[in-house]
Amino acid sequence: MRSTVFPLQNTWLFLLFLSLVMLIATAWHAPMSGDEHVHKVQAEKNIRYLKTFGKDKEALDTPISRLKHYGQSFDTLTIWLADSWNIDNVYRFRHVSNAVVAWLVIVFTSLTAMFVTKNKLAAIIAVLLMLVTARFMGHAMNNLKDVPFALAFIFSIYFMLKFIDQLPVISWKYFAFIVLGTAFGISIRIGGILIAAYFILFCLLQLYYLYNSETVTGKTLYRSLVQIADLGFLLIICACLLGILCWPWALENPLKNPLESMELMNHYPTTVRQVFEGKLYWSDKFPWYYLTKYLLITLPIISLLGFLAFMGLFFNLSSHRTRVFSVLLLLAFGFPLFYAAATGANVYGGWRQMLFVLPMFTVLAATGIWALYEKIKHKKTMTLIAVAVGFLALFHPVRHIVVNYPYLYIYFNELAGGVKGAYGNYELDYYFTSYRNAYRFVDEQKPTGVVAANFIIPEYYENKAYLPALIDYYDRSAVNWDYAIIANTFLNPYQLKHGYWPPQNTVYEEKVDGVPILAVVKRATSNDLAGVELLEKGNYSQAVDQLKKALQIDSLNESTILYLAKAQVKTEDISGAYKTLKRLDRSYPDNEWGLDLRGEIAFSRAKYAEAEDLFRKNISHNHRFHHSYLNLATLKLYQGDTTQSIGILKDCLRLNPFYEPAYHLYGKILVAQGEESLGGKMLEFSIEGPGKYGKK
């Protein structure tokens, strides 16, 4: 007995120690994520709010980031500690702190597996599965929102299982831990209240099981149900009160504002456009199976096999207790995924926002592998085969972690064909971690002009001789820059798959498994910028000359092609514009501005059916391409169909309530119909203020 138990105990402790070392080591040199700057700034605002007892209200002013709706307690804590301890490298401190939290996630995942199975081997397997989950290891370095939130869940669920294991006896010690875990979850984001719902559900299911198994009488059941109702209410009250202590927005109105934040999280308004299954989707329009598919192609195969083993061997689990607790974990893992699919939740970046379900899944996978081992351990040949398969399944994620540091979270398993198979089919560096190496390269070039990027991380520009500029890659000709740093996030998958990205004049690439996730582009000519400026000034012929010169140097520049076609339209060279736009058929056939401009040309030449087809095609391809709504509404108005024109404008404004041109056209229609008061207000609408017109 002793010779079996102590080696497992020592192995378990050693693996936990090793995992802590690994996590801190990977976090020590970790790059910043794209979210970190805004979270750090918000944490500083939160601290000022708390220090001034609510007098400094800058923390409540977050119209773009909406971070006032997040408690983000862990972000705030790390900044407060860094300031208190005079730590110079704030981001390294944040990363290491997050690594310790990630380690605690592993610890409690392992403890949960041990508690469910009453076996240390399952606990060891759980540690190994977490360590080879490359996406978790990547987020463990610099994701101070989703990783602590995952800790809140697995910490609470561990003590929840211990609590219900004591029922009908009430353990106040375990209940206190559940309150702390739930409060910690709420303090990060309001969705932590789900833990309280799990508590009530788990207790009710356990009492139902005890009653059916005649472990408790009807009288005891009734008394226990009353107790659980009281405890559930107490949990919600205590956890909410503790959870909002460092959350400025909630402190302003503890009843109304958390509910408003919950509503916002259920219908999150910010959408991003990302690649999924080789197509561009807005995040509120992903297929219902988006999260499930992402889990299938990004979790290590060994974990998926373990989960399949759990499902297949469920009724062979050694005890009824293990089966009951496993069902509870299955509910905790599956419900958020089901809810997101059923409600069409606005999720993006893979399952990052669902990182909190990973520990429960891992416990189930570890339980499955342990159950399989228990079933075949007396069959030597089968055991050897199973071990060999296990080691083979570990090779792929382990290799990725070792070879592709620090891009651990850019992992796709064998089902997706690895990172190479995912290239152009799924988003890769959606967290912009590759920017650090790109700026290091740019710094070596000693530029003194403008360094643009398709995402700005302000810290990379501090104390530098060059200036920042945020650019849309597909409008790069209209911006002044010397170097452009372009992550392939949000880019068109056709271009990625067919080799049209990275573009010409790329001087540096950052790669993962041989495929580029970022390119640094050096500007080859300023003729394109000069042409755009001339076009805006109305010097159309000169603009054409400059833009043609630019295309002689950078022939596949989509931005230059579009501006040249626009300039040619202005010079009434329609055939030339058509010919120019045909160049997009090679490198970017679904370019929305190209299709929209073709529709405008067809409209101007009285080809109304062709124009309508092009505008509608654009809208079906990208339902948020507002300019085609405006053009289509204008076309229908020209054809005398005022009702349909107004309907199109309403659809446009539902998608973008700040699109001025749609308001102005709608206003003109209303004025013409005699509704001068409302129409006049729409004509005056401007995001810059009443009576001021924004850009046309």
Burial 2-19 (b: 16+ CB within 10 A, else e): eeeeeeeeeebeebbeeb
3-state SS of 29-83 is CCCCCCCHHHHHHHHHHHHHHHHCCCCCCHHHCCCCCCHHHCCCHHHHHHHHHHH
Amino acid letter at 667? G
Burial 414-444 (b: 16+ CB within 10 A, else e): eebebbebbbbbbbbbbbbbbbbebbebbee
Is residue 316 classed as helix, strand or coil in its secondary structure?
helix
What pLDDT was estimated at residue 1?
A: 41
Tokens read off for 685: 């609408």
What pLDDT was estimated at residue 695?
A: 33
Report DSSP state, residue 526: S
Weakly modelled stretches of the chain, pLDDT under 70: 1-6, 687-696
Tokens read off for 616: 């509608």
Report DSSP state, residue 314: G
What pLDDT was estimated at residue 3?
A: 45
pTM as predicted: 0.92
Angle between helices 558-570 and 592-604 (to 10 degrees): 10
What pLDDT was estimated at residue 688?
A: 53
Nearest to 139 by CA among 416, 435, 418, 350: 350
